[in-house]
Amino acid sequence: MSSSADAREQALEVAERLAPLGPVIVKRMFSGAGLSIDGVNFAFVIGGTLYFRVDDQSRPAYEAMGLEPFRYDRPGRTVTVGSYYEAPDEVFDDDEALCDHARAAWQAALTASRARPPKKPRAPRRRAAG
């Protein structure tokens, strides 16, 4: 099974455990799988690791637990994505803890999506005469 398929399988298992929060959608995301509620991405699985969206209020708790932000390699450098952190170990054994972290992650993602300026409408393409 490919790493993308493994990530999807793991994300589907997480989504099933998150049923109390409502319908969680799992979609392919790069070489992993993203989790969203109401169209808002709040977590993803990549490389066998579950990451949750964090904000300024939740990030210190993740850092205090010694958890790391998501990182990936680019040619000549490593990129750190400070808005997503590894899930704490407790979420793998405790559905209530998983739901609590996911709810907070969804709220952080929702707040971040509201803070972004709306996308500008794209100009229609011009067709070549011919």
pLDDT digits (tens, 9 = 90+) for 23-49: 999 999 888 999 999 999 999 999 999
6 class by beta-carbon count within 10 Å (0-12 exposed, 13-18 middle, 19+ buried): middle
Mean pLDDT estimate for the chain: 90
pLDDT band of 117, cuts 50, 70, 90: low
Task: Provide mean pLDDT across the span 77-96.
Answer: 96
Strands 49-53 and 77-86: what pairing? antiparallel
More confident residue, 58 or 122: 58
Question: According to DSSP H, which parts of the chain are helical?
Answer: 3-17, 59-64, 95-115
pTM (2 d.p.): 0.85
Strands 69-74 and 40-46: what pairing? unpaired
pLDDT at 1: 47
Task: Provide mean pLDDT across the span 84-105.
Answer: 96
Task: Provide mean pLDDT across the span 14-26.
Answer: 96
Task: Provide mean pLDDT across the span 111-121.
Answer: 70
